[in-house]
């Protein structure tokens, strides 16, 4: 996908966390996409891996210091919205930070003023122009049938949700549930990077006690593979169409 690649294994980057999740490669890839400089994480970090929340989000601050202006995040998520299907791509318009309700927020602790303010606003966490750009490009690419918009809810994991938990998340207004992204978004926004985020709906959560369905990571990986090409195309087209005031890293 990227031209002129320079690749660093996470294990060779001092103080960088290591990917422990099957399917997360653990490489930082620099390169260009249609002439635009980009850096991609192949593998991210999650609360359930046991890392402190500040370590999970360290890459965001590194990207800021490298000159990154826009962050594009993707994740695999379980569909709560009854209109969603496996394989849908949801443009995230907002989030519910469940660990944050219990005080588990990546900005807890002394505020580093070099990055941002003590009390950052999150009502504009997901850049509206970029959301619209993603939707427009999705339509242009012919993804209309499986392109959705919605609210992503993060939980700590690693256990998938119970039926009662799924029912309450749905009632709270979440359209999809996952185990990542939100902490990265908070740190990226704190330091002023623009954010657009996409969820691939890899499974539909179980909300019915008569259902025999069971969430599992293999299905998540399998469903991710099915849409990988289309998601990559959407992300790369967004990258090439983002306005860059300083023409910096994405």
Ligand X SMILES: O=P(O)(O)O[C@@H]1C[C@H](O)[C@@H](CO)O1
Ligand Y SMILES: Nc1nc2[nH]cnc2c(=O)[nH]1
Cα distance between residue 196 and residue 234, in whole Å: 12
Question: Which two three-digit tokens encode residue 128?
Answer: 């509206």
User: Stretches 94-102, 123-131, 199-207, 235-243: which one binds ligand Y (CB under 6 A)?
Assistant: 199-207
User: How many residues make contact with ligand Y (CB under 6 A)?
Assistant: 15
DSSP 203: E
Identify which of residues 31 and 157 has a Cβ nearer to ligand Y in the complex.
Answer: 157
Which does residue 180 touch among ligand X, ligand Y, none (CB within 5 to 8 A, set by kind)? ligand X
Cα distance between residue 81 and residue 128, in whole Å: 21
User: Stretches 34-42, 60-68, 103-111, 202-210: which one binds ligand Y (CB under 6 A)?
Assistant: 202-210
Taking CA 31 as the corner, what is the angle to CA 112 and CA 144, rounded to the nearest 5 degrees?
90
Question: Which two three-digit tokens encode residue 182?
Answer: 């939100």
80 contributes a contact to ligand Y by CB under 6 A: no
Long-range contacts of 3-8 (CB under 8 A, 24+ apart): 3/31, 3/32, 3/33, 4/31, 4/32, 5/29, 5/30, 5/31, 6/30, 6/31
In the complex, what is the shortest distance from the CB of residue 133 to ligand X, in angstroms, rounded to a whole number? 22
In the complex, what is the shortest distance from the CB of residue 219 to ligand X, in angstroms, rounded to a whole number? 8
73 contributes a contact to ligand Y by CB under 6 A: no
Site for ligand Y in 131-190 (CB under 6 A): 155, 157, 160-161, 177-179
Per the document, the length of the chain is: 250
Which does residue 46 touch among ligand X, ligand Y, none (CB within 5 to 8 A, set by kind)? ligand X
- Smallest Cα–Cα separation from 63: which of 97, 28, 32, 35? 28
Identify which of residues 106 and 178 has a Cβ nearer to ligand X in the complex.
Answer: 178
Cα distance between residue 51 and residue 150, in whole Å: 28
User: Stretches 73-81, 92-100, 101-109, 225-233: which one binds ligand Y (CB under 6 A)?
Assistant: 73-81
DSSP 80: -
49 contributes a contact to ligand Y by CB under 6 A: no
- Binding residues vs ligand X (CB under 6 A): 21, 44, 46, 75-76, 157, 178-180, 217, 220
Identify which of residues 97 and 202 has a Cβ nearer to ligand Y in the complex.
Answer: 202
């Amino acid at each position: 996908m990227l031209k002129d690649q320079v690749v660093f294994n996470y294990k060779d980057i001092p103080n960088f966390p290591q990917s422990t999740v099957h399917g997360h490669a653990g490489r930082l890839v620099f390169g260009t996409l249609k002439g635009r400089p980009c850096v991609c994480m192949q593998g991210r970090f999650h609360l359930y891996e046991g890392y402190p929340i500040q370590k999970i989000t360290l890459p965001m601050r590194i990207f800021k210091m490298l000159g990154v202006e826009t962050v594009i995040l993707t994740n695999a998520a379980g569909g709560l919205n009854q209109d969603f299907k496996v394989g849908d791509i949801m443009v995230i318009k907002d989030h519910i930070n469940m660990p944050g309700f219990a005080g588990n927020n990546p900005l807890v602790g002394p505020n580093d003023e070099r990055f941002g303010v003590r009390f950052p606003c999150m009502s504009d966490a997901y850049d509206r122009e970029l959301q619209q750009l993603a939707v427009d490009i999705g339509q242009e690419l012919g993804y209309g049938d499986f392109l959705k918009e919605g609210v992503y809810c993060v939980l700590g994991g690693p256990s998938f949700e119970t039926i009662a938990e799924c029912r309450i998340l749905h009632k709270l207004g979440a359209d999809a549930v996952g185990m990542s992204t939100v902490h990265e978004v908070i740190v990226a926004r704190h330091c002023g990077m623009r954010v657009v985020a996409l969820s691939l709906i890899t499974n539909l959560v179980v909300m019915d006690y008569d259902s025999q369905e069971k969430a599992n990571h293999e299905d998540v990986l399998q469903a991710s593979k099915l849409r990988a090409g289309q998601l990559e195309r959407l992300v790369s087209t967004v990258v090439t169409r983002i306005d860059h005031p300083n023409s910096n890293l994405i």
